[in-house]
A and B are shown apart, each in its own frame.
Chain A
């Protein structure tokens, strides 16, 4: 019986041994590196960006359930704040070259612009926050993000805490 099981175990282990010695599969080359001309940009020339404005404070330990699952809030400098409240959540529909403004609770304005849609489907976005008591927008950051990806801009002071802006490309 044991001998039979030993043979069975050897047989089962064989695929591992054979795959280990097999020639590794080559990963498909990124479009940018391939010799073929890059694909034409997709027809979709607009994107939807969700902007969630959170207020982080040291008040009672409480995370607004509407924020959803954001493990980042329990890590790094975010972990210093015990309370996170969702102040607003907006969906900005942006066409290429178009921009949308969002009034922030601290009186400033956030401007988001879709710079381009890249061949791989990702969006190049430019986010700006105007200076206090100024109407002009200086480019703050340029981000490349695919649908489902997010980035965070945090640190602006607001009511005993800070603002945390969570950008997520929806589509």
Chain B
């Protein structure tokens, strides 16, 4: 950067002492070239300021809604968390009573609803017939399965519980 330009910039930025500024203004009055250079610098500076102001105004119109959206999202998240806490608290309050209120308890699978404790096979005497006693699945109903040796027209019939 030329020393002349440096001085111009210091003048424009008001970095000169009063004495320096007075001497610089004397030079300006005596030198039309320096005065023109100052004018150009002031013009460019004004354009830059105007552009900056326009950019700031435009940025403001873009930034503001974005900031609003961010704030809105934060508010929603906070509300959801509050609802979550409230739900958890409500569940904790309701759960102890649910043990005494069947309508609040979870539904049971149909097999549990049907299957009462099963009967008890106390004695089995199948003589010479093979027999097995078992329960199936979750049912508690005892099953006596007889391996029947009676003739049947279905030769492929399976006789055992498998």
Contact = CB atoms under 8 A, between A and B. Distances in A.
Contacts of B95: 12
A155 B159 contact: yes
A66 B124 CA distance: 30
A101 interface: no
A76 to B, nearest CB: 3
B125 A160 contact: no
B84 to A, nearest CB: 9
Interface residues of chain A: helix, strand, loop or mixed (majority): mixed
Interface residues of A, number: 50
Interface size range of chain B in the complex: 35 or more
Interface string B120-162: 1111111100010010111101111111101111100111111
Interface string A24-46: 00000000000000000000000
A155 B86 CA distance: 58
Contact of B120 (A106, A143, A159): A143
B125 A80 contact: no
A153 B146 contact: yes
B66 interface: no
A139 interface: yes
B114 interface: yes
Interface in B62-111: 81-82, 85-86, 88-89, 92-93, 95-96, 110-111
Contact of A69 (B93, B114, B146): B114
Interface string A142-158: 11111011111111111
A2 B82 contact: yes
Interface stretch (A3-11, A83-91, A92-100): A3-11
Interface of B: 81-82, 85-86, 88-89, 92-93, 95-96, 110-111, 114-127, 131, 134, 136-139, 141-148, 150-154, 157-162
27 contacts: A8-B93, A71-B111, A71-B137, A71-B138, A72-B137, A80-B158, A124-B122, A132-B150, A138-B125, A139-B123, A141-B144, A142-B124, A148-B116, A150-B119, A151-B118, A151-B119, A151-B142, A152-B141, A152-B143, A153-B146, A154-B146, A155-B144, A155-B147, A157-B159, A160-B152, A160-B153, A161-B154
